Amino acid sequence: MNFVKETETLFLVYCKDNIKKQLHIGLFMNTGPYSHDIMMQQVADDLSSRGFKVTMLQIRVFNFNFTLPKSNYNWSIVQYDYSRPETNTIMNAAMNQIWHGPVPMGGGSFNYKGIFTFHQLYESHAKACQSALKDADYMRKVQEMKLDIIAIDYVLNECAIGISSILKIPRVYLSNYPMVEVYTDNFGVPSNPSYVPALVSHTGSKMSFFERVLNTATHVALIFARVGLFWRSGKMFRDVGYSAELRQEERDTIFYGTPLEFLLDGPRPIANTVKYFGCMKCSGIKPRHVSDLYGTTPNKDVIVASFGTCSSASQLPERVIKSFSSAFSQFKQYQVVLQIPGIEKYNNSLPSNVIAAKWIPLMQLLGDPSVKLLISHGGVSTTLEAINNAVPVLGIPLQGDQMYNVGRLVEKGVADVLFVNSLSEKRH
């Protein structure tokens, strides 16, 4: 399935009164994670190429120091920038915590620091939303756009739901995430915790009794957390004079879309309001050989280790870098490409068969037949790219949905999982 083509059809159906004019589509981005921003830019480019007028909206909270590539299309962006030293401090704390255990939870043990870090992240979201709602200039710009429909990157973005209700326009949900049970439950598509793993779990669909009890408890805890987010967000809107019944607004959303592949997900109820679109940019990609990019020995087998854009080598504990170095040094027959933002500073201390890189063209490298293994955090885009290129995965999930994504690969028999809190120089 292709997100843009199907979404275009749905846009036309739900905006049939405006078919004779150029539709104005809003894309409400998340708060700064690069993988989410780049997904929305791809959607903006594709919709613009089909003749739609597109405006991106964002309440930016975090700055990950990755700049979106320059677009060839003439869409606009209305942004409220809340990023500041305090939010950067919280972001850096989260970047540190993910190397000690997944945020907010997971990894086979209770991670109270991960939960606390997640709480701080959401507090930053809430403060940014409150600040944006009180900014008369920003809210005026948003209301004057006269959008016909809006697509929202919905994860922890209750503010965007409320703003779309103020605009009184149809909305769709799309995020660089798999299905999230506390969202689909509200859509009337319940996720039975006896066989649908919680988002923060790597457990498969076939669970033991104890795993079902633990999964149910996690599911219930997430439901209570989401209810709390609804209540708090609704109060913020009421405090500044807007009426927003967010729970009902979410139920009225046209459809809920995910880039996850249908066959990769576990068994769960679905409805016509739930759309699996699959990878947006996995086809038509020309492979690039590792030897051509980095001047390595041609035809030498390669291991790619990539941990996304939300990680940072500046926050790497010594035990983790030593664990990587010790493990890779035992595979001299392989060339290893290690990608973590800022990892270049360790270049001189890494084994001779390791190339350190801030960023790599991962999709193109995975198309190189010499790549035999991907070691990854398990982001949904990375997961889809590995599956598309038939590359087995060793998952080391760090945060959010990554436990779930890696769990689906393990369940299909094409991956194994290793928890970051278990890494040490002695265990590799």
Task: Supply the CATH number for residue 107's domain.
Answer: 3.40.50
Check whether 3 has a pLDDT greater than 60: no
What's residue 10's pLDDT? Answer: 57
Please check whether residues 74 and 191 belong to one and the same domain. Answer: yes
What's residue 20's pLDDT? Answer: 46
CATH of the domain at 370: 3.40.50.2000
Mean pLDDT, rounded, of the chain: 87
What's residue 9's pLDDT? Answer: 58
320 within some domain: yes
What's residue 330's pLDDT? Answer: 93
Q: pLDDT tens across 228-245, in order?
A: 888 889 889 998 888 778
**pTM for this predicted structure:** 0.89
Please check whether residues 272 and 403 belong to one and the same domain. Answer: no
Q: Which of 276, 311, 326 is the last residue of a domain?
A: 276
Please check whether residues 294 and 190 belong to one and the same domain. Answer: no
Please check whether residues 272 and 320 belong to one and the same domain. Answer: no
More confident residue, 116 or 57: 57
Q: pLDDT tens across 73-104, in order?
A: 889 999 999 999 999 999 999 989 989 888 88
Residue 189: pLDDT band by 50, 70, 90 thresholds? confident
Q: pLDDT tens across 360-384, in order?
A: 899 999 999 999 999 999 999 899 9
What's residue 14's pLDDT? Answer: 52
210 within some domain: yes
Please check whether residues 294 and 272 belong to one and the same domain. Answer: no
Please check whether residues 188 and 331 belong to one and the same domain. Answer: no
What is the average per-residue pLDDT within 318-334?
A: 92
Q: pLDDT tens across 260-315, in order?
A: 888 888 888 888 888 888 887 777 788 888 888 888 778 889 999 999 888 888 88
Residues spanned by the domain of 339 = 290-422
Check whether 69 has a pLDDT greater than 90: no
Cα-flanking dihedrals φ and ψ of residue 29, to 5°?
-75, 170
What is the average per-residue pLDDT within 177-186?
A: 88
Check whether 106 has a pLDDT greater than 80: no
Please check whether residues 322 and 240 belong to one and the same domain. Answer: no
Please check whether residues 268 and 364 belong to one and the same domain. Answer: no
265 within some domain: yes
Please check whether residues 245 and 303 belong to one and the same domain. Answer: no
% of the chain at pLDDT higher than 70: 93
Q: Which of 227, 251, 276 is the last residue of a domain?
A: 276
163 within some domain: yes
Please check whether residues 146 and 173 belong to one and the same domain. Answer: yes
When divided into structural domains, the chain yields a total of 2
